[in-house]
Chains A and B, each alone.
Chain A
Amino acid sequence: MELDNIEKLLEKYFEATTTVAEEKTLQAYFSQESVPTHLKQYKPMFNYFSNAKEERYTKQVPLKPRKDFYKWISVAAVAVLSFGIYFGNQYQEKRQAEYAYQETKKAFELLAENFGKGTEKVAYLQEFEVAKQKIYNNN
């Protein structure tokens, strides 16, 4: 690789107009031992970049097989909830029916009581009838 070309590439490089291929050329050029003195200052830069590429992520990739744990929990939760709603409703209905029954009973009792009063009063009418019969019989 002639020096001219490298110098031109360097110029382009610092204007960020080089292509990836040209940059690879530069990296390759600066990775060799003998570099002209006036270009030596760039050597660390390119060497650093090519070395930085070698760094690896050495840790284990930490993957646990995912469990369908949450899915089953949600299924259970839905089951419990629907049971609750079902039986809760039944209980509620029973309570309401009982309440309605008690209320009706109370109402009937009230009615019965008032009827009772009514019949008591009607009993006096009997007296009236008796008196009326007496009068008829006398005449």
Chain B
Amino acid sequence: MKQAEFLNVVMPFKDKLYRLAKRLLVSREEAEDATQEILLKLWSKNESMGEYKNVEAFAMTMTKNFCLDRLKSKQAGNLKLVHSNYSDESTSLQGQLEAEDSVRWMERIMEELPEQQKMVLQLRDVEQYEFEEICELLDMKPTAVRVALSRARKTVRQELVKKHSYGIG
């Protein structure tokens, strides 16, 4: 596969890889590094890429595994991922939102979710994958996906209601 061809294959979903990585790793720099790593890995495998039915699903699974490994090693090293991307959020997202606080609030709620729920929520509500695809990507049973998704959504709602009734922001 030539470089141009490879880019054509990869371009449509590279943002998805990045967003998943960012959902898990939180920090923008970490997510960018992870995405780069995944793309390089894919490129090094490009000869066998024709054999995969679904390169996107394959790449997403790679990203998931890579990020989870990353998180594990960070935890083992007793380091917390730090991120300094608050300012960027405000320029890219706030402009489209009337309530800028609620974005940050949502972000914080999402960060608190367990990893699996984060991923399910990201894949479904942001990337709008079908259930079967999520099952395949995360190697989970359909019922487990549903349960995780329902729980994640309810947690988010609960936190939002809490905030709403406090009347903050």
Contacts and interface: CB of A to CB of B under 8 A. Distances in A.
A36 B60 CA distance: 38
A13 B146 CA distance: 11
B116 interface: no
B15 A56 contact: yes
Given A16-B146, A51-B97, A57 B126 contact: no
A59 interface: yes
A48 B106 contact: yes
A40 B161 CA distance: 10
B35 A59 contact: yes
A14 B153 contact: yes
B47 to A, nearest CB: 10
Main secondary structure of the interface of B (DSSP, over half): helix
B135 interface: no
A127 interface: no
A23 B106 contact: no
Interface residues of A, number: 30
A61 B153 contact: no
A101 to B, nearest CB: 56
Given A55-B15, A55-B92, A62-B36, A13 B128 contact: no
- Indicate the size class of the contact surface on chain B: 35 or more
B60 to A, nearest CB: 13
B93 interface: yes
Given A41-B160, A47-B103, A55-B22, 15 more contacts: A14-B154, A16-B145, A17-B146, A41-B161, A44-B103, A52-B19, A53-B126, A54-B93, A55-B92, A56-B18, A57-B14, A57-B15, A57-B35, A62-B39, A63-B7
Interface of B: 3, 6-7, 10-11, 14-15, 17-19, 22, 32, 35-36, 39-40, 43-44, 92-93, 96-97, 99, 102-103, 105-107, 110, 122, 124-130, 145-147, 149-150, 153-154, 156-157, 160-161, 164
29 contacts: A14-B150, A17-B146, A20-B130, A23-B124, A24-B128, A40-B164, A41-B160, A42-B157, A42-B160, A44-B103, A44-B160, A45-B106, A47-B103, A48-B106, A51-B93, A51-B97, A52-B122, A53-B126, A56-B15, A57-B32, A57-B35, A59-B32, A61-B7, A61-B10, A62-B39, A62-B40, A63-B3, A63-B40, A66-B44
